[in-house]
Chain A
Amino acid sequence: MMRTIHLVSQAVMVTFALLVMLGSPATAQTGLIDVNMASEAQLAQQPHMTPAIAKDLVAHRPFKTVVDFNKFLLDQKLTQAQATELYRKAFVKINLNTGTKDEFMLIPGVGARMSAEFAEYRPWKSWAQFDKEIGKYVGQQETDRFKQYVFIPGI
């Protein structure tokens, strides 16, 4: 009897570990690449990037703001729509307390209305505050997505 319980509990633990391992790559895929930190090889694999653009990008780093990065991409003959598609994978994070409207509006899914909300609730002091104030407009799932694109200094 004890042996059966032991075997069942081991099977449960192994299954749980497998599920966690299988789940990890998917979670990692949702994370954004920091354009200023990523390797040239990583950058070259992103949407609308070529090895030549990736090389040039590395040579131009660091980008102070995502607006600078956006200008670089447009100079490389990417369209704004292509750049926006790239921003779903790679970005230059924005300081929530000092970011400009132009910076916020480069976050996919953020327009004038949401960028005004980002500015209105300054100073941002915690992620809990961000969850509360932004979550009420677009729900927690979108709020979590926005959090990948911004940072609160000191947190």
Chain B
Amino acid sequence: MVSEVDRVERLRRWLLGVLSLGLLGTVTELLFLEHWEQPLQLAPLLLIAAAFAVVFWHYRRGDEKSLRWFKIVMILFVLSAFIGIAAHFEGSAEFQLELDPSIGMLDLLMKIIHAQAPPLLAPGMMLVFGLIGLAYVYSDARYRRSEVK
């Protein structure tokens, strides 16, 4: 009979595995895309590097400090998603406004949504990763018992 605690821990390990796999896939794609033309484009690469570091640290130590840093990095992931979507929107808008400076807001929005590059919602992956990471953090027994502030 598997206890509730064991079931949660098994689920948490899955979350960490899914997160690591997703990060690995995303960083590979970003490297192939040479996602570093502008300084802001380095943000997801640096955050993923930080995430790998805290995942490894937490996997080895499993202490409260590493968990707290894990949470900080995941919160940054969530924030970066919104910044990334805004940056992709701005980048795409630049192309459309060059073509037609008098374009209306609704038309501009539709063109940006339909443009293949920069992909408007691609930074949303950072939001998904951040939320998976936070689910891992807040399902920790110490958080469940409110021991970690």
Contacts and interface: CB of A to CB of B under 8 A. Distances in A.
B96 interface: yes
B117 A136 contact: yes
Interface residues of B, number: 14
Given A113-B94, A113-B95, A114-B95, A137 B100 contact: no
Contacts of B94: 111, 113
Contacts of B97: 111
Contacts of A22: none
Given A136-B115, A138-B95, 6 more contacts: A109-B100, A110-B98, A113-B91, A113-B94, A137-B92, A142-B99
B99 to A, nearest CB: 4
Given A113-B94, A113-B95, A114-B95, A138 B100 contact: no
Interface in B14-36: none
A135 B116 CA distance: 8
Contacts of A139: 111, 114-115
A113 B100 CA distance: 13
Contacts, number: 31
A45 B13 CA distance: 74
Interface in A96-155: 109-114, 135-139, 142
A137 B114 contact: no
Interface of A: 109-114, 135-139, 142
A142 B116 CA distance: 14
A109 B98 contact: yes
Interface in B67-116: 91-92, 94-100, 111, 114-116
Q: Which 4 A-B pairs have the closest CB atoms?
A: A111-B98, A136-B116, A136-B117, A109-B99
A113 B115 CA distance: 15
A76 B100 CA distance: 27
Contacts of A113: 91, 94-95, 98
A51 B111 CA distance: 41
A137 B115 CA distance: 6
A138 B91 CA distance: 12
A117 B114 CA distance: 19
Contacts of A109: 98-100
A114 B117 CA distance: 12
Interface hub of B91, B92, B99, B116 (most chain A Cβ within 10 A): B99
A42 to B, nearest CB: 27
Nearest to B94: A113
